């Protein structure tokens, strides 16, 4: 069954929580856009690999991780502007 947008956004939120639990509130970004870009590039590379390998189950997990990294980056930018 197809997931509704609210369920997908919930998955992204859960992934964000896991990221903070694993890496801390600042995380691997350390307030630096270049580090954030590097983390996003690594996650995007995993998406590309799963596409090439036709691994749709893992692809969905990686896409959630990419979205969560983008949310984290946006949060970092917002925090810097406060």
pLDDT digits (tens, 9 = 90+) for 31-44: 789 989 999 999 99
Contact 59, 47 (CB under 8 A): yes
Tell me 29's DSSP state. Answer: G
Residue 15 lies in a domain: no
Residue 13 lies in a domain: no
Residue 46 φ/ψ, nearest 5 degrees: -70, -35
Residue 40 lies in a domain: yes
Please count the other Cβ atoms lying within 10 Å of the Cβ belonging to residue 64. 19
Residue 10 lies in a domain: no
Count of structural domains, the chain: 1
Residue 12 has pLDDT above 90, yes or no: yes
Q: Domain range for residue 53?
A: 31-82
Residue 14 lies in a domain: no
Residue 5 lies in a domain: no
The pTM of this model reads 0.88
């Amino acid at each position: 069954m197809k997931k509704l947008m609210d369920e997908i956004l919930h998955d992204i939120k859960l992934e964000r929580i896991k990221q903070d639990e694993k890496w801390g509130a600042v995380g691997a970004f350390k307030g630096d856009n270049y580090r954030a870009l590097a983390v996003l590039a690594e996650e995007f590379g995993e998406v590309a690999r799963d596409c090439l390998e036709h691994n749709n189950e893992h692809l969905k997990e990686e896409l959630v991780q990419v979205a969560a990294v983008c949310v984290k980056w946006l949060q970092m930018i917002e925090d810097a502007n406060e």
